[in-house]
Amino acid sequence: MRSRALGIVLALAIALTCSTAAFAQTKTSSSAPATPTPFDPHDLSGVWFDERPRPLTTNERYWIYKFNAEEPPMTAWGLAQYDATKSSFGTRAYPLAETNDPLYHTCTPPGLPRIYLHPFPMQVVQTSGEVIVLFEYDSIRHPIYTDGRAHDTTLGPLWMGDSIGHWEGDTLVADTVNFNDKTWLDRIGHPHSNALHLVERFRRKDHEHLDLDITIDDAKAYTKPWTTQIEFMLKPKWTLAEQFCEDEESFQKMDKDAAAPAK
Partner 1 sequence: MKLNRIIETRKVSLGFALVFAMVLSFSPAASAQSKQTPEAPKVSTLDTSHDLSGVWFDDHPRLIKVQERYWAYTFTLEAPPMTPWAQAKFNAAKASFGPHAVPLVETTDPLYHTCAPIGFPIIYLYPLPMQIVQTPGEVIMLFEWDSLRRQIFTDGRAHDTTLGPLWMGDSIGHWEGDTLVTDTVNFNDKTWLDRMGHPHSDALHVVERIRRIDHDHLVDDITIEDPKAYTKPWTAHLPFVLKPKWTLAEQFCEDEQSFQTIDQDAAAPAK
Q: How far is the CB of 131 from partner 1 (least distance, A)?
A: 11
For partner 1, which residue of 30, 128, 169, 257 counts as binding (CB under 8 A)?
A: 128
Q: How far is the CB of 107 from partner 1 (least distance, A)?
A: 4
For residues 23 to 62, the per-residue mask of contacts with partner 1, x marking binding by CB under 8 A and - elsewhere, is ----------------------x-----------------
Residue partners of 57: CB distance under 8 A and separation at least 6: 260, 262
The candidate with the shortest Cα–Cα distance to 234, out of 144, 139, 137, 124, is: 124
**CA separation, residue 169 to residues 40, 41, 163, 173 (Å):** 12, 9, 19, 10
Choice between 73 and 129, CB closer to partner 1:
129
Q: With CB under 8 A as the contact rule, which of the stretches 28-36, 64-72, 200-208, 234-242 interacts with partner 1? A: 234-242
**CA separation, residue 18 to residues 22, 155, 209 (Å):** 6, 52, 20
Near partner 1 in 88-127, by CB under 8 A: 106-109, 125, 127
**CA separation, residue 67 to residues 32, 118, 183, 202 (Å):** 39, 11, 15, 16
The answer to whether residue 143 forms part of the interface with partner 1 (CB under 8 A) is: yes
The answer to whether residue 239 forms part of the interface with partner 1 (CB under 8 A) is: yes
Residue partners of 71: CB distance under 8 A and separation at least 6: none
The candidate with the shortest Cα–Cα distance to 216, out of 202, 236, 195, 237, is: 195
Q: With CB under 8 A as the contact rule, which of the stretches 54-62, 95-103, 154-162, 254-262 interacts with partner 1? A: 154-162
For residues 198 to 227, the per-residue mask of contacts with partner 1, x marking binding by CB under 8 A and - elsewhere, is ------------------------------
The answer to whether residue 242 forms part of the interface with partner 1 (CB under 8 A) is: yes
Burial of 26 (0-12, 13-18, 19+ CB in 10 A): exposed
Q: Are 176 and 214 in contact (CB under 8 A)?
A: no
Choice between 90 and 161, CB closer to partner 1:
161
Residues at the interface with partner 1 (CB under 8 A): 1, 45, 106-109, 125, 127-130, 132, 134, 138-141, 143, 145, 147-150, 155-156, 158-160, 239-242, 244-247
